[in-house]
Amino acid sequence: MMTRHEIEEELDGLYKDLNFAYNADEETVCRTFNADSKQEYIKTLTEEVDKYEALLEEYNLPEDDGMDYINLQLSQGLPVIRL
C-alpha cells in the first residue's frame, strides 16, 4: 500500500505531465512521451489521475472498525460522553 505522501507525489507528477500534454502540440507530446497520439496519451494520464485520486480518497474516509464503543464502555462500567 502506498503512503499518502507517495500518492500525492505521483499525482503531482501526473498533473504536470497532463498540463504539459494539454498545452503542447501533437508532435511534441508524441515525441516527449513516446505516445502514438496526444489524445490517447491524455486519456491514459487522466485514467491514472483517477486511479490515484481514488487511492487518496481512501485516506479521507473515516475508519469504522465496526466496534460498538458505547456498549463496550457501558459493559465495563465506564462513563459514556455522547457528543
Give the C-alpha separation, 46 to 24, whole Å.
Answer: 16
CA 30 to chain centre: 26
Instruction: Answer whether 30's CB lies under 8 Å from 37's CB.
Output: yes
Supply the pLDDT for residue 83. 62
Lowest mean pLDDT of 14-18, 28-32, 40-44, 69-73, name the range: 69-73
Categorize the per-residue pLDDT at 1 as very low, low, confident or very high, splitting at 50, 70 and 90: confident
What is the tens place of the pLDDT at every residue in 19-32?
Answer: 999 999 999 999 99
pLDDT tens per residue across span 46-68 = 999 999 999 888 877 666 666 77
At residue 80, does pLDDT exceed 70? Answer: yes
Helix (H) or strand (E) segment spanning residue 8: helix 4-23
